């Protein structure tokens, strides 16, 4: 199952958005066959495959129920759905490197399950100067999702001024089936609002190669 050829127009739209705004929101854009494959896989995953999500990395990793309450399962190439997803992200990576010269080196991602009421408070995926996560990718796997279901992704864009009437700096994205969100990891704080029903997604990050003395920088 490959997608690289048919997705060139989508990849071009994403790259143009990144250049223009630093983020791209593409509703219902992931290939439908791939989206169904991923949804079926995440629904069938045994409960023990999911772990409580934490904050921080390596020795700084910790569980903090005040910041996030979702559960995750890291994606590896040991099943058809994950392999198809990895193939699609490799095609996106190759296109963005060719088009934008980003130097994207590796990709890591996980399935995410937000049960009713779960949330992830405002945060950034990376901080300036760390040189790790460069580009964040989120894909939503929720069928028949409406605004009443909640669970929106909120992206904060400091370049858009807020007024006394409305805060235009908050960009809300419904986690609808097949919607793709891509944004510069260092630039955009974001949060996940509580949902009123189970919410499924994939979150991933393209990283630079921070190799030292020919030792390959590990993905996580």
| Count of domains for the chain | 1
Phi, psi of 37 (to 5 degrees): -60, -45
The pTM of the full predicted model, rounded to 2 decimals, is 0.88
Residue 2 lies in a domain: no
**Nearest one of 184, 116, 195 to 153, comparing CA atoms:** 195
Percentage with pLDDT > 90 across the chain: 74
For tokens 């997608």, name the residue.
Answer: 3
| CATH code for the domain of 96 | 2.60.120.620
Indicate whether 55 pLDDT > 80.
Answer: no
Confidence bin at 23 (pLDDT 50/70/90) = very high
Cβ-Cβ contacts under 8 Å for 175 (sequence gap 6 or more): 140, 142, 145, 151, 152, 153, 195, 199, 201
Structural domain containing residue 132: 8-207
Examine residue 128 and state whether it is found in any structural domain, yes or no.
Answer: yes
- Residue 217 placed within a domain: no
196 occurs within a structural domain: yes
1 within a domain of the structure (yes/no): no
Which tokens is 124 given?
């950034």
């Amino acid at each position: 199952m490959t997608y690289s050829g048919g997705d060139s127009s989508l990849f071009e739209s994403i790259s143009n958005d990144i250049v223009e705004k630093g983020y791209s929101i593409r509703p219902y854009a992931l290939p439908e066959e791939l989206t169904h494959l991923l949804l079926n896989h995440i629904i069938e995953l045994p409960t023990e495959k999911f772990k409580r999500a934490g904050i921080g990395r390596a020795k700084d990793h910790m569980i903090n129920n005040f910041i996030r309450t979702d559960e995750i399962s890291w994606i590896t190439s040991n099943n058809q759905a994950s392999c198809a997803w990895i193939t699609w992200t490799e095609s996106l990576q190759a296109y963005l490197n060719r088009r934008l010269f980003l130097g994207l080196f590796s990709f890591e991602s996980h399935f995410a399950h937000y049960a009713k009421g779960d949330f992830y408070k405002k945060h950034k995926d990376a901080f300036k100067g760390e040189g790790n996560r460069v580009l964040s990718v989120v894909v939503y796997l929720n069928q028949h999702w409406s605004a009443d279901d909640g669970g929106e992704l909120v992206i904060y864009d400091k370049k858009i001024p807020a007024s006394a009437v409305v805060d235009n700096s908050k960009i809300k994205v419904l986690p609808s089936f097949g919607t793709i969100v891509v944004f510069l990891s260092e630039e955009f704080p974001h949060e996940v609002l509580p949902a009123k029903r189970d919410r499924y997604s994939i979150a991933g990050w393209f990283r630079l190669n921070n190799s030292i003395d020919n030792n390959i920088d590990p993905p996580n």
